[in-house]
Structure 1
């Protein structure tokens, strides 16, 4: 049996009902004309904590025993999963410790602390967050909630595509940003269950193409820590669990440059009137740049909108 099934995703949807936001789907005639398809944009920037990560975090934390909730949870994240676990723990009467890179955008650190989490920092270029997180969990007796290597997290993320397709009807293409691979693993599983012929396309920053390289090689490939404005997609290697799923559900991976991401952020702001963080804009970037050719009906997931005003202005102000 697959690690994550469509039933797992439907069960997660039931658990998230009334807790997570049912985020809006928006359209743009200009985008449709440029892409040559009907494009449906799932706006997870309007999700609680400003990103899809709340879905998986809440689904996973809510399944812990009362005894474990009393002890607390630990997570490692560059920001969005951090906030998601912090809020999920608070909602469920638990506590959270979050391991964050020293160079995480201040807005994400402040937001995570604002949900009541204890912040522990590390150097992303020299430290091993997985080992550090495991050590914290063992030392303090905490439940580790990883950002993507967890079936309950993946199932929660899959509710994003479930909602999108239930609202819009059948899609020919689904475009999803890839970081660690949890969002596309869950969303691809849901999409293929609802429409077996759908084409699921992932998008990575060109500097962080670990999933594309891994799928091309047929095995997980490690790259140097990516240096890209899409900090939420700065993964060195796909997760073992997510890769095992994605090699079955992902049809292709497109790569976009930082300049193409900036252009997509600007387009979303000017045409859609929404604020999108760099990682959240990569799907739109792939469509606008022609890196993903879509026809018929295409869905794209905007994965998040957590970015400070100064950084946002700096990025979209460039020509």
Structure 2
């Protein structure tokens, strides 16, 4: 059963997180605001050593939740595995990461470079996670599941504290994968900016999290067909759904075309090459401009690890 995210632990978390992951820049651009019809406040999490916000939570987890020298197993689409490998190996913990056979090669190479043993299994993230869980049980190692460990969400919640301190906003649009980011940000924002609307975003081709939160019960899908590999969830974590529903006011879905349009505009106006899952917040604004018109809207640019093919496509756009 997941431990619920707590505000006091989010406030305390930065003491345990490598400073290279903290105080990331907040980007604004008047021309981009004009194109969107709202004032965008973009928290850029792409310039740290793993190109993702995941370093915040994995740092906190490795600092507080592991016994000395304790080895672990996890599954990852790439960014969580990078964060856990960096945080764990630097502290003397062996880290084995299971990833899908179709995983982004840039992320696979990065995980190995950071010291993880990477094993490929299954056609997608959830298939790899099933194998990882079975392997951990068979060899009696700790299985670390992104979305269930409180420290992963609490580390992510430091983003919200930084955002709230940097600029006022009326709404925040948050990527929704397994839920650690939403749990951390939602918990913090409910306390430090209670007026702000919190909107979670999934890819239309991977709707399981939206369907599950909207219905209040676990909904699995047969496929997760999206370029946004970081939020390509087929099998939600049932025990987290009620808490995630409390952490947001709405869950919306965006198309593949809208995701790429957001990537292109972010690159053009902000100069950041962000991976698809990192662009879905802007995609949600593009998808429903009337909802956000004239408002101050925060979002997170939370992945800079594009596959070679996606980077080539973005730069050619």
TM-score by length of structure 2 reads 0.92
Deviations 1:205-230 (A, max 9, x none): 11111222122212221112211111
* Residue aligned with 1:300, SS: strand
Partner residue, 1:229: 227
Aligned residues: 314
Partner residue, 1:175: 173
Question: How far does residue 264 in structure 1 lie from its aligned partner after superposition?
Answer: 1.1
2-structure distance, mates of 1:84, 1:183: 14
Question: How far does residue 187 in structure 1 lie from its aligned partner after superposition?
Answer: 0.5
Structure 1, 89-98 or 197-206: larger mean CA deviation: 89-98
Partner residue, 1:249: 247
2-structure distance, mates of 1:71, 1:60: 12
Question: How far does residue 141 in structure 1 lie from its aligned partner after superposition?
Answer: 4.0
Does structure 2 conserve the Cα–Cα contact (< 8 Å) formed by 1:262 and 1:316?
no
* Residue aligned with 2:21, SS: coil
Superposed, 1:83-122 pairs within 5 Å as 83-122=82-121
1-structure distance, mates of 2:92, 2:20: 14
Does structure 2 conserve the Cα–Cα contact (< 8 Å) formed by 1:214 and 1:220?
yes
Which of 264, 270, 274 aligns to 2:268? It is 270
Q: Which runs of at least 4 in structure 1 moved beyond 4 Å after TM superposition?
A: none
Q: Does 1:290 align with 2:293?
A: no
Structure 1, 305-314 or 183-192: larger mean CA deviation: 305-314
Change in CA separation of 1:51 and 1:126 when aligned onto 2, cut-off 3 Å: closer
Change in CA separation of 1:193 and 1:117 when aligned onto 2, cut-off 3 Å: same
Structure 1, 302-311 or 113-122: larger mean CA deviation: 302-311
1-structure distance, mates of 2:311, 2:170: 32
Deviations 1:29-65 (A, max 9, x none): 1222233322100011123300111111111111134
1-structure distance, mates of 2:106, 2:7: 35
1-structure distance, mates of 2:307, 2:91: 28
Partner residue, 1:199: 197
Q: Which runs of 5+ in 2 are unaligned?
A: none
Partner residue, 1:147: 146
Q: CA RMSD in A?
A: 2.0
Does structure 2 conserve the Cα–Cα contact (< 8 Å) formed by 1:57 and 1:145?
no
Partner residue, 2:300: 301
Deviations 1:11-46 (A, max 9, x none): 222222625232110001122223332210001112
* Residue aligned with 2:288, SS: coil
TM-score by length of structure 1 reads 0.91
Question: How far does residue 86 in structure 1 lie from its aligned partner after superposition?
Answer: 0.7
Change in CA separation of 1:60 and 1:241 when aligned onto 2, cut-off 3 Å: farther
* Residue aligned with 1:70, SS: coil
Question: How far does residue 288 in structure 1 lie from its aligned partner after superposition?
Answer: 2.4
